[in-house]
Amino acid sequence: MAKGKVGTAVGSLGDYLREQRTSASLSLRQLAELAGVSNPYLSQIERGLRRPSAEVLQQLAKALRISAEQLYVRAGIVSPDDGVGGSVELAVLNDPGLTERQKHSLLDVYASFLALNAGQPGADAHDDDQS
């Protein structure tokens, strides 16, 4: 992911979280407590200074009673386009047997394969099996 794209996605996430928090009539401190994160950390997420892990996004979604998948899209972790790996990405993010670092590594590899295949017209998943 390009650095500029991440910054934009995180900023968008922060704005979205702030909107959801205010519409739920929660203070920053209240949401932080409900989600089990520190007040300063949540403030940094809302201001676009920090990129939360998938686990933190799940905690925030639960506290706000909104879809975790929507937060993943806002954070730029999952593509909003249907059919572009969303189910694979969500499966990786929701796997409790993986660490956050492992999840991000798998998602990076997966995204690189998608990008590689998108650049090759007629690319077939079985092409490499023919060797």
Residue 16 pLDDT > 80:
yes
What length is written for the chain? 131
Query: What is the fold, at CATH topology level, of the domain defined by 3-118?
Result: 434 Repressor (Amino-terminal Domain) (1.10.260)
Residue 66 pLDDT > 60:
yes
pTM over 0.75: no
The answer to whether residues 102 and 92 touch, using CB atoms and an 8 Å cutoff, is no
| Residue from 77, 75, 67 nearest 9 by CA | 75
The 10s digit of each residue's pLDDT in 74-111 is: 887 777 665 444 678 888 887 888 887 888 788 888 88
* Sequence ranges of the domains in the chain: 3-118
Residue 1 pLDDT > 90:
no
Question: Which is higher by pLDDT, 78 or 2?
Answer: 78
State the burial class of residue 108 (Cβ atoms within 10 Å of its Cβ: 0-12, 13-18, 19+). exposed
Q: State the amino acid at position 127 in one-letter form.
A: D
Sequence-ordered list of residues with C-beta below 8 angstroms from that of 14, at least 6 positions apart, any chain:
45, 46, 47, 48
Query: According to the model, what pLDDT value does residue 91 have?
Result: 83
